[in-house]
Structure 1
Amino acid sequence: MSSTVSPASASRAGSASDASGSAPSGSVPKLRTRRRGPTPGRPRRSVLLTVLTGLVLLYSLVPLVWLVISATKTQEGLSRSFGLWFDGDFALWGNIVDTFTYNDGVFTRWLLNTVLYVGLGAGGATLLAVLGGYALAKFEFPGRRAVFAVVIGAVAVPGTALAVPTFLMFSTMGLTNTPWAVIIPSLISPFGLYLMWVFASEAVPNELLEAARIDGAGELRTFFLVVLPLLAPGIVTVSLFTMVATWNNYFLPLIMLKDPDWYPLTLGLHSWNDQAATAGGQPVFHLVITGSLITIVPLIAAFLLLQKYWQSGLSAGSVKE
């Protein structure tokens, strides 16, 4: 038998093939390309956010670049050259030597005074913040909520508002124009106390403290052997904040100290800067700039060396396990 295909059946077969979506022979089917959205693991790029971040970075780096470049110039070179470019005479080393030897080496005395204020003031503030924060976080006692309210209120009060009452109190006790007038107020850090309170609440499990007490460890032994290692990131963070605040403290020494031998670096460099405005005073702006550069080097080194602990301390409690 001969098989014949009728036109009607051929038409039905063609329509069936079209309905099934199959392309005719010899033609390549077109594939739809789906738009790729942002990968869940990768954040979406924002041009506006990138531009704003660049502007903030530029705003932060330009003063530092100006300080480094200006520290390489002489007193005359500061006025005859562009601020953001070097002068013909590279005098960085000479400026450093002159800074430490000018006026019988008083800059070294100011540097040692600042180290003294930071060591006793910031170190004591960190110790008190660690002890107080741990006690407030892990012990129940009457008046705990009132202490929390006082700490929060103290954080909101600026230090300049307490400067005059502090001066009057220390003047009555005869402690003005002494190092204690700068050290004792630096021992109080409400923000450091609050930060250690929050950090200790999350970093020290109550079950670990109960296990140590069951094993017969006293409170002091538990604190030094169990709690302190867990609080290390928070301690570094608080110590950095208190150290920077004490190192850059200007207003409190300004109203407390009159003897230049007890000046910190901030007040001493300010006196050098005002020297040009006095009668017969010699302008030493190149030494002021070089001294400012020397002043910020220890802070930058501390942040770079303790960056790992500082970042982990700030992020503590942000992830819920």
Structure 2
Amino acid sequence: MTLLAPRHRPHPPRARTTAHRPPRRPWALSRAAVNAALLLATAYTLLPLGWLVTAAAKNTGDLLGGRALSPATWHLGENLRHLASADGGVYLRWYLNSLLYAGGGALLCALVCVCAGYAFHVHSFPGKERLFGLVLLGVLVPAGALALPMYLLASELGVANTFWSVFVPSLVNPFGVYLARVFCAGYLPDEVLEAARLDGAGELRVFRSIGLPMVAPGFVTVFLFQFTAVWNNFFLPLVMLSDSGLFPVSLGLYGWNAQTHAFPEYYPLVVTGSLLAVLPLVAAFVLLQRHWRAGLTAGSAR
């Protein structure tokens, strides 16, 4: 009896060992390139403001001679005195008008938008979603397209060339209603509202004591958006107003700038007035940025 040798079995081919390589991304920017792009974007944003700050301290000769960025001369105090006394101090009147149009209008508009957004979120009524869709259609209509119809309506009502012809349209903001509904959905738990109703609070008391304080970030956000929009609004006052005493800052500075070809002494007034016109916007965002940043995250957890 012969012993059969075990048949040799070939070993399976072993996989080739290669060094571990990180996965290659198809395209990626280096950190230096990203920082360079951010630096360019920051410079693009801040350089005009820097030019405005330095140019506001120059006289007519420096501005016309191309020395707006030169630190050799500084006439800011003199420019401010001329600005306050030019044309009988009308710039101060324009400034007050802009504060009333933008500040008061944005405050009431934010309240109206929060009330509407609260009603759309909390209450159920026939045709609610269709009505909300109609509000969203208002977002698609450009504000400039409504200026002429609003002027014709104001003329029919006899309020053209008055304070109310600019102030009342600033109370309406369809996009603010949409934002307010989003904020209410993110900040108002239904359980809290139901508990307040079980305690005997009426709907107005629930909104005033619970709803409005809880959606304060949304209120501030709508206020900032509307304040910026009304402060920078130009076309509506241009159409509605003919009395220079009712002009906002934007329209008043435009009128002065149109006269600089015949009266070059208006150049420093326009530049200095433009610098002062930026300050309320900067102050509003700096003072309210904490609430605004909190409002940007509304509904993120849902």
Partner of 1:227: 211
Determine the C-alpha separation between the residues in 1 that align with 2:295 and 2:117. Answer: 14
1:285 and 2:267 correspond: yes
Kindly state the Cα deviation for residue 183 of structure 1 after the two structures are TM-superposed.
Answer: 0.7
Q: Offset at 1:270? A: 0.6
**1:124 shift after superposition:** 1.7
Q: Return the alpha-carbon distance in structure 2 between the equivalents of residues 288 and 211 of structure 1.
A: 57
Which protein shows a greater Rg?
1
Quote the offset at 1:51 in angstroms: 2.6
Instruction: Determine the C-alpha separation between the residues in 2 that align with 1:173 and 1:126.
Output: 25
Give the conservation status (yes or no) of the 8 Å contact 1:133–1:194. Answer: yes
Letter in 2 for 1:224: R
Distance 2:22 2:77 in 1: 56
Task: Report the residue type matching 1:172 in the other structure.
Answer: E
Identify the residue that residue 8 of structure 2 maps to in structure 1: none
TM-superposed deviation, 1:186: 0.7
**What letter corresponds to residue 138 of structure 2 in structure 1?**
A
CA shift for structure 1 position 283? 3.8
Using CA pairs below 8 Å that are at least 6 residues apart, which structure has the higher relative contact order?
A: 2
Partner Cα distance (1:207, 1:272) in 2: 57
The Cα shift of 1:119 comes to 3.2
Q: Assess, with a 3 A threshold, how the Cα gap between structure 1 residues 157 and 49 changes in structure 2: closer, same or farther.
A: farther
| CA offsets 1:245-293 (integer angstroms, 9 cap, x no match) | 1111111000000000000000001111011245xx4541111010010
Alpha-carbon distance, 1:52 to partner: 2.3
Supply the distance in 2 between the matched residues of 1:265 and 1:277 (Cα, whole angstroms).
20
Code of the aligned partner of 2:63:
L
Partner of residue 181, structure 1: 165
1:237 aligns with 2:192: no
1:302 maps to 2:284? yes
Q: Distance in 1 between matches of 2:133 and 2:30?
A: 42
Taking the TM superposition and a 5 Å limit, the aligned residue runs for 1:4-15 are none
Matching residue of 1:60: 45
- 1:318 partner amino acid: S
The code of the aligned residue for 1:189 comes to N
Aligned to 1:49: 34
> Gapped runs of 5+ residues in structure 1?
1-32, 38-43
Partner Cα separation in structure 1 for residue 20 and residue 276 of structure 2: 58
Paired residue secondary structure (1:102): helix
Equivalent pairs, count: 282
TM-score normalised by length of structure 1: 0.83
Counterpart secondary structure, 2:299: coil
Task: Answer whether contact 1:68 1:293 (CA < 8 A) is retained.
Answer: yes
State the partner residue of 1:196.
180
Instruction: State percent identity of aligned pairs.
Output: 44
- Decide which of 127, 136, 157 is 2:111's aligned counterpart: 127
Asked if the contact 1:126/1:238 (under 8 Å) is kept, the reply is: yes
Kept in 2, the 8 Å contact 1:81–1:87? The answer is no
Deviation at 1:34, TM superposition (A): 8.6
Q: Distance in 1 between matches of 2:161 and 2:207?
A: 38
RMSD of aligned C-alpha atoms? 2.2
Residue 56 of structure 1, CA deviation: 1.5
